[in-house]
Amino acid sequence: MTTYKTFDSAYMSVLDDLYYHADFYNAPRGFKSREKLAFDFEIENPVQRGIYNTKRKCNIIFNFAEALWYLSGSNKLSDISYYNQRMTNYSMNKQTLTGTAYGSKIFHFGQAQLNQWENVKKILRKDPDSKRAVIQIFDANELAVADNLDVSCTLGLQFLIRHNKLQMITYMRANDAFRGMVSDVFSFTIIQELMATELNLAVGNYYHRVGTMHIYEPDNQWVTHVLKEKRYNQFVFPSMPKENNWLMIQKLMTYEKQLRQNQLTMSWQSIEQTGLSIYWQQVLALLSIYQMIYYHKIIDDVIVAHLLPIYRFFLHNKWPNIIKAGKL
């Protein structure tokens, strides 16, 4: 297994290896791809989950929105398609998502509606050396649905306390190295960091293990452009505060719903007055700016100016025509 300090370095290395040294070329369900099997890597500092290659143009707002969607336990399509219309393509009834809605699996698994999050915390508090702290994502029933458009790519998440740090292993049946891996690792390391704060532990290493890692043929040209960019700015991703982050997330999601439904417009002053900690104020600011983009409102430059340089970089790189970068 190859070890990287940050996901940024892992991402570039994985892309290069897969694109230029693929083991297989195939077309499952008619989608041509290059592929490696039983692929894995390790990240020493999973909090540093950003991808800074300017050619990749990562959508930091969708990354946070997807992670928060998981943490909300929702399976509603409208809660996430607002941030990414492509999600609609995976819903069979155009109202809910099944496989992709990892949050419903984490907090309401199966007929028993098992809260696996609380179960993992209970196991690790009782036995810090346990090997049983696992959250199951993939459900065998997904394969019994005829022509299922949305089968879970993730099999499960395992949490282990070693050297007084919370280590996490993600097991995936399949992963799109160019697109899906970016948002997957972002969300899973958010989950790892949040669980660590709840258990009052430092964040340990993150391990990513995939049955089939692949790049789809339509992305080949874009991948080569990304790989050609060898030098780019590096930023430090903020760490989650050591506090009751669930309280902050619940409050944040109340505002998120109002922003998404265009029932509320926020200024920087109103964001500061929410009672959210600085970390979550920044996320709310990102969601507020996305509302302005989505509903074609004038971008509030004051909110942009109060963002951390790392977030201003992501916004300007993704939407250069409407977001002023300022001094990074």
pLDDT score recorded for residue 324: 79
User: pLDDT at residue 230 above 90?
Assistant: no
AA letter at 276:
L
* Burial track 42-76 (b if 16+ CB lie within 10 A, e otherwise): bbebbbbbbbbbeebebbbbbbbbbbbbbbbbbbe
Q: Can you tell me the distance from the alpha carbon of 259 to that of 273, in angstroms, rounded to the nearest whole number? A: 16
State the distance between the two ends of the chain, measured CA to CA, in whole angstroms.
35
DSSP state of 307: S
pLDDT digits (tens, 9 = 90+) for 159-190: 999 999 999 999 999 999 999 999 999 999 99
pLDDT value of residue 117: 98
State pLDDT tens for residues 279-290: 999 999 999 999
Instruction: Tell me the domain boundaries of the chain.
Output: 2-228, 245-318
Does CATH number 3.30.572.10 belong to domain 2-228?
yes
Confidence (pLDDT) at 325: 67
User: How confident is the model at residue 242, as a pLDDT?
Assistant: 93
- Reported as a pLDDT band with limits 50, 70 and 90, residue 327 is low
What are the tens digits of pLDDT across the range 292-303? 999 999 999 999
Provide mean pLDDT across the span 8-20. 98
**pLDDT value at position 232?**
80
Span 260-279, pLDDT tens digits: 999 999 999 999 999 999 99
